[in-house]
Structure 1
Amino acid sequence: MAFASKFNMLKNELKSIQVLRALAVILVVMFHFRFDADAIITNSQVVFANGSIGVDLFFVISGFIIYYVTDNNKHGVHESIVFIIKRISRVAPPYYIISVLFAYFYTGDYSDLFNSFLFLPKTIYEAPFFGYPSLVVGWSLNYEMYFYIATAVGISILSKIRWPIILSLMMAPIICMALYYGNISLSSAFIYTTKYPYLSMISNPIIIDFALGVFCGWMTKKDYCLSDKFVVTMSILIFMIVYIGISRSEHGPIVWGAASLLITFSFVELEKRKLIYLPKTMIYIGNISFSIYLIHIPALKIILYIFNTYTPTFNMTLRPECLFLSALLLTAIMSLGYHYIVEKTLCDTLRKIMLFIIYKTKRESIP
């Protein structure tokens, strides 16, 4: 079947997903840089005021990818351990290193590192963030790790019921809290009164973003025999709806999660039909998007420190432009280095060592 070959191409390359990752990280970066960017990009404070939609897009993409890479895997405890090692070795070392460096050179406060290292929220307030770690973007990684844990549990069970189990584990806290308090809300800003920050986090509706990504992965495996013309028309309409929809600023499934689902499904369908141009630059940015996500705030702080310390009387008319461009340049340079040194070298090495130990232990345990 033609669809099968298209699917295999997609599974191997996922170029559209890398472009979406690039889009997501650009939106997040511009959200944090928007005030200084206003000097160059007209009305950037307004245009990128809702750039944090990039986080929801990352969550949907994560659900999509994890569905793809695990759907046909073998099940069992060993496979579950292998999965969690692969995910943790990719996320934890880069996050740990930059968190420690940021605390040492900027905040001077190490009290948040315990929560950061265990991917735990700090408080029951400020949903869906539940307290920012020293590296503010780390709040989203708490949700990411919870999704990985739920997936690992599902992988340890029979493959045919894997995803119903995973989605049930993720939805159970949301449903149970809603039934217990008699108040159902899909707003990520809604907070159930509980003493436990982690329970507050895992019962937040933003979790549904991952489920939307899983649903998107399941949908794209189906052959709907849709015409190319219909897909193109649908995509244009989706982009228009997303553009209008982000005028409401809200994390979670109702607004930004739904928009991210639609745009992800659209990109993948267009790639399957070879109806979309995917720039190599965007694909490359997507490849290093995690480093950019972690680095851009420290890079901005470094530039602010340099400007405030060494050029306090710098021409205030030119200052915002120079600050914005300098922060972008430093983000790019640091992210490239961080990606190759930490993500590609350190993380790959750690993953290989841990997997070698796991496989060796498994072989030795076989009589």
Structure 2
Amino acid sequence: MAEPDPQLRPFEDRHDRVQPIHSIQVLRALAAFMVAVHHVQPDAAIVAMHAGLSFTRSDVLPWMAGVDIFFVVSGFIMVHASQDLFGRRGAGWSFLKRRLARIVPLYWAMTTLFLLVGFAVPAVLNSGAPSLGQVLASYLFWPAVSTQGLVQPVYSLGWTLNYEMLFYVLFAAGLLLPARWTLPAVGLVLALLVGADSLHGPLPLPFAFWGQPIVLEFAAGMGIAVLRRKGLRLHGALRVAVAAAGVAVLLVAAQMPGADGGWSAVLWRGGAALLLVLAAACGRERAVPAALPVRALAAVGDASYALYLVHPFVIRGLREVMLRAGLASPVLYIALALGGAVLAAVLLYRCFERPATRLLRRWLGG
């Protein structure tokens, strides 16, 4: 195993000790839960149909805005947690190793599980079997057209990770530059990708995928991190007002036709995410949150990546169990599915994700 650069190790140690911001962890938990609420409702409608009941989905919020929140949070966290790496020799590779160790094990495990289930029960794929090229592209985070004609990996939730990996590679490359150029360079490349596709598109893959406006949300998160580092703090009523404004924008976006794609999604959902992350990131933080609900949500926030990836398995599996058991109550199903997804995520995080991340980091020498 390669030994870490001794000149870099002290900075990596301080990087490890960056304290999490509990309000950001709470926001991550809520974002993952929003995505789960979006996905549980079609299955609840099937449960209701089998019972001869009516079911009307709730769209009081644009639930997939959880992804926009994740992207803004990701931009913020990369800057906040990597501040000691800026301008350091070997920082780019160190950063990329950490992100690979964090993202790869669980995503590869969930992709493999999906493929195994799909090959055992082909009906769950809802499409033809993927080709070898599509499978490889999925494992390599490379945008490719699926059997359904969409640019998404075999395990469709991984489309967000294809964007995340683009951002990580750009950020790692930016760390090779002098510290003052890192963030402007990353933001400029993201803007150029979006501008090229918007003005001269559609571009060929993968640039057509990478050039979607949603990638600008990473830049928004980086901007919030810069404001925090410069000392911006929102206190008391102002912090509450900024968070309330973010929720209000989401409520309006849920009622706006066409607010769920392209530039409209970035302006509405991304704008709301920016306000929510700003309120969460730039407030006064206690070393340990006092309120039990905050501590509980922060713990779910630690497992938010697991919650994002595992909830479809719980939702679909529980649906089949309830239908076979004759428990066709959509309300009960939603409660059990969401609660089960959170429980599965916490267990998966503690028993697999965290140990696997540590193991891979040691193997990579990071």
TM-score range, shorter chain: 0.7 to 0.9
Q: How far did 1:172 drift? A: 1.6
Question: 1:250 aligned to 260, 271, 287, which one?
Answer: 260
Which stretches of structure 1, 4 residues or longer, exceed 6 Å deviation after superposition? Answer: 273-278
Note if 1:123 corresponds to 2:145.
Answer: yes
Q: How far did 1:271 drift? A: 3.6
Question: 1:328 aligned to 320, 330, 338, which one?
Answer: 338
Corresponding residue number in structure 2 for 1:172: 192
Q: Is the 8 A contact 1:34 1:49 kept in 2?
A: no
Corresponding residue number in structure 2 for 1:295: 310
The residue type paired with residue 258 of structure 1 is G
Corresponding residue number in structure 2 for 1:51: 63
Q: 1:332 to 1:124 in 2, by over 3 A?
A: closer
SS state at 1:123 partner: coil
The residue type paired with residue 58 of structure 1 is F
Q: Is the 8 A contact 2:143 2:151 kept in 1?
A: yes
Corresponding residue number in structure 2 for 1:34: 41
Q: Is the 8 A contact 2:60 2:251 kept in 1?
A: no
TM-score (norm 2): 0.79
User: Following the alignment from structure 1 to structure 2, what is the Cα–Cα distance between the partners of residues 125 and 168?
Assistant: 33
Q: Is the 8 A contact 1:206 1:253 kept in 2?
A: yes
Q: How far did 1:49 drift? A: 6.2
SS state at 2:206 partner: helix
User: Following the alignment from structure 1 to structure 2, what is the Cα–Cα distance between the partners of residues 258 and 280?
Assistant: 27
Note if 1:95 corresponds to 2:117.
Answer: no
Q: How far did 1:245 drift? A: 3.2
For residues 149-194 of structure 1, the C-alpha deviation after alignment (integer angstroms, 9 at most, x for no partner) is 0000001111121111111122222223344x2xxxxxxxxxx333
Q: 1:56 to 1:130 in 2, by over 3 A?
A: farther
Q: 1:120 to 1:224 in 2, by over 3 A?
A: closer
Corresponding residue number in structure 2 for 1:282: 297
Q: Is the 8 A contact 2:246 2:273 kept in 1?
A: no
Q: Is the 8 A contact 1:72 1:159 kept in 2?
A: no
Q: Is the 8 A contact 2:28 2:304 kept in 1?
A: yes
Q: Say how many residue pairs are matched.
A: 327
Q: 1:17 to 1:132 in 2, by over 3 A?
A: same
User: Following the alignment from structure 1 to structure 2, what is the Cα–Cα distance between the partners of residues 25 and 102?
Assistant: 19
Corresponding residue number in structure 2 for 1:18: 25
The residue type paired with residue 110 of structure 2 is I
User: Following the alignment from structure 1 to structure 2, what is the Cα–Cα distance between the partners of residues 145 and 136?
Assistant: 15
Note if 1:343 corresponds to 2:353.
Answer: yes
Q: Is the 8 A contact 2:146 2:154 kept in 1?
A: no
Q: 1:336 to 1:49 in 2, by over 3 A?
A: same
Note if 1:220 corresponds to 2:224.
Answer: no
User: Following the alignment from structure 2 to structure 1, what is the Cα–Cα distance between the partners of residues 284 and 59?
Assistant: 27
- Structure 1 gap segments, 5+ residues each: 1-9, 182-191, 357-367
- Structure 2 gap segments, 5+ residues each: 1-16, 49-53, 123-128
Q: Is the 8 A contact 1:270 1:276 kept in 2?
A: no
Q: How far did 1:335 drift? A: 1.8
Corresponding residue number in structure 1 for 2:5: none
Q: Is the 8 A contact 1:231 1:270 kept in 2?
A: yes
Note if 1:82 corresponds to 2:89.
Answer: no
Q: Is the 8 A contact 1:37 1:44 kept in 2?
A: no
Segment of structure 1 superposing worse, 28-37 or 143-152 = 28-37
Q: 1:353 to 1:225 in 2, by over 3 A?
A: closer
Q: How far did 1:315 drift? A: 5.4
Q: How far did 1:48 drift? A: 5.5
Q: Is the 8 A contact 2:77 2:225 kept in 1?
A: yes
User: Following the alignment from structure 1 to structure 2, what is the Cα–Cα distance between the partners of residues 153 and 64?
Assistant: 17
Q: 1:224 to 1:60 in 2, by over 3 A?
A: closer
Q: How far did 1:98 drift? A: 1.0
Q: How far did 1:298 drift? A: 1.3
User: Following the alignment from structure 1 to structure 2, what is the Cα–Cα distance between the partners of residues 105 and 176?
Assistant: 39
User: Following the alignment from structure 1 to structure 2, what is the Cα–Cα distance between the partners of residues 286 and 227?
Assistant: 23
Corresponding residue number in structure 1 for 2:14: none
Q: 1:327 to 1:233 in 2, by over 3 A?
A: closer
For residues 91-140 of structure 1, the C-alpha deviation after alignment (integer angstroms, 9 at most, x for no partner) is 111001111111111355353421211112223999xx953333221111
Q: 1:268 to 1:276 in 2, by over 3 A?
A: farther
- Structure 1 segment 299-310 matched on structure 2, within 5 A: 299-308=314-323, 310=324
The residue type paired with residue 16 of structure 1 is S
The residue type paired with residue 145 of structure 2 is T
SS state at 2:143 partner: coil
Corresponding residue number in structure 2 for 1:151: 171
User: Following the alignment from structure 1 to structure 2, what is the Cα–Cα distance between the partners of residues 178 and 240?
Assistant: 29
